[in-house]
Amino acid sequence: MTISSLFTIKKIDLFTLQKKNIARMFFYLGILISYWGALMPWFIWKIENVFFVLSAMLIVMSMLISRNISEPLFTRKDFQAPILAYLALTVMMRLVNGNNINSYISLVFYSAIFLSLFTISVDELKRLMKFICVVMGSLLTVSIFYFVLYILGFPLPSTPIAHEVLMYSYTNFYFFLIDDRTFYVLIPRFQSVFMEPGHLGTASVFLLLTQLGKWKKWYNVVLLIATIMTFSLAAFVLLAMVLFINAWLKHQRILPKILLIISFLGITTVGAIFYNDGDNMLNSLIIERLVVDDGKLAGDNRVTDTFEAAFDDYMKSDDILFGRDFELAEFGWGNAGYRVYIYDYGLIVLLLTIIFYISAVYGSKDRRAIISMFFIGVASFWVRATPLSFYYFIPLYAFAYIGHQNKKLYDIKQENLK
């Protein structure tokens, strides 16, 4: 081999590496836009109706570039079943809701995004989740810093902002939002730049689920702090579930951890009830919502009385298979969760949703991760039924294939103990 040929090989390898990095950059950016488009931070509102177009274009460019390199990013071949299940589900959702032609056009772009997730390699999926966690951790670091300054009384520039369609109004401090309904609360719940504290809390827990074994990383510490600062009951419950899942995936004994967590929760509960006569955020936002009154959990307030009555009537009707039109004007604001999903789409769509999730994670060899994913997914669906939302689906799907990222280390330790 000549010296000139050696330089030629290095040049080709460098060029290939550059193309791979460009493909990776387009894919990561496209997925990040999809992720943020689903969470709807205030800076994405102006493109919230077209974000999926931009995302799909970047992802398609990534896939085209990847096809022409020796080590492509999109290598999985078991994408047929999940993409067909996705199309069956989303077409049925549009049919039962009587959507117009624009919704079917948008389906083309959404399908491209989901197809990329079904074909990306597992190693690249792991890197993608780290990328999203780092970006979110960086954003939340700045957001928490300025939020603390606000709590301490520092004057910060702000402007009023409103989402007219969803009827939200805020004071926008640029790095975080304060809901106008809680503007005069001494210490409001933290929601960063997102629509609700519950959205941020749930999203953060989902991301932490993909980082089991790596929670000491700075960006995951930030995600955990942000979750706690939201004071979201749903997020707290999901976080407790993730702790059990972490122990189960490591094949640790769960009972001691259950007793430890119960003891901690018991001490915290007693302290919150008596501290300041119960007038504190932990007691009012978490503990009081866990009280059962007349057989109903106080925190199970995801629907209005008007909608709950309509849902009970709906479950006895012939509409149960294909759903009824959910009208905001009829039922008012504040309805969410599995009942709204079933009412709006019916049992056929619910069944197709389950089939879609099963087909999406069927290729994973980590059965414990799959079971855990469904465990978390069902619990979250009960409260916030948005199974196709990118901030919801992407981390759950990734976790089914990633599992516990340090699992091999634990397996080696177990072998050494034998």
Cα-flanking dihedrals φ and ψ of residue 149, to 5°? Answer: -60, -40
| Residue 285 confidence (pLDDT) | 52
What mean pLDDT do residues 15-25 have?
80
Cα-flanking dihedrals φ and ψ of residue 268, to 5°? Answer: -65, -40
Rounded CA Rg of the chain: 23
Can you say whether residue 177 is alpha, beta or left, with left for phi > 0 and alpha for psi between -120 and 50 degrees?
Answer: beta
Please report, rounded to a whole number, the percentage of residues in the chain having pLDDT higher than 70.
78
Residue 414 has pLDDT above 80, yes or no: no
Residues with Cβ within 8 Å of 219's Cβ and at least 6 positions away in sequence, in order, are 133, 134, 136, 137, 138
Tell me the torsion sign for CA atoms 41, 47, 52, 58: negative
| Residue 360 confidence (pLDDT) | 96
Q: Which residue, among 242, 237, 261, 221, has the nearest Cα to 404 in the 3D structure?
A: 242
Grouping H, G, I as helix, E, B as strand and the rest as coil, residue 299 is coil
* CB 327, CB 352: distance < 8 Å: no
| Residue 11 confidence (pLDDT) | 46
Per-residue 3-state assignment (H helix, E strand, C coil) for 373-407: HHHHHHHHHHHCCCCCCHHHHHHHHHHHHHCCCCH
Least confident of 11-20, 237-246, 377-386: 11-20
Grouping H, G, I as helix, E, B as strand and the rest as coil, residue 6 is helix
Residue 10 has pLDDT above 50, yes or no: no
> For 99-144, how does the pLDDT look when each residue is reduced to its tens digit (9 = 90+)?
788 889 999 999 999 999 999 999 999 999 999 999 999 999 999 9
Q: What angle do CA 55, 227, 354 make, to 5 degrees?
A: 55
> For 27-75, how does the pLDDT look when each residue is reduced to its tens digit (9 = 90+)?
999 999 999 999 999 999 999 999 999 999 999 999 999 998 888 899 9
Q: How far apart are CA 380 and CA 373, in angstroms?
A: 11
Q: Which two structure tokens, joined as six digits, stand for 312?
A: 């009970």
Q: Which residue, among 9, 386, 6, has the nearest Cα to 198 in the 3D structure?
A: 386
Q: Which residue, among 96, 39, 88, has the nearest Cα to 357 in the 3D structure?
A: 88
Q: How far apart are CA 418 and CA 406, in angstroms?
A: 19
399 against 277, higher pLDDT: 399
272 against 141, higher pLDDT: 141
Long-range contacts of 49-58 (CB under 8 A, 24+ apart): 52/106, 52/109, 52/110, 52/113, 53/109, 54/30, 55/30, 55/31, 55/109, 55/113, 56/30, 56/108, 56/109, 56/110, 56/112, 56/113, 57/30, 58/26, 58/27, 58/29, 58/30, 58/33
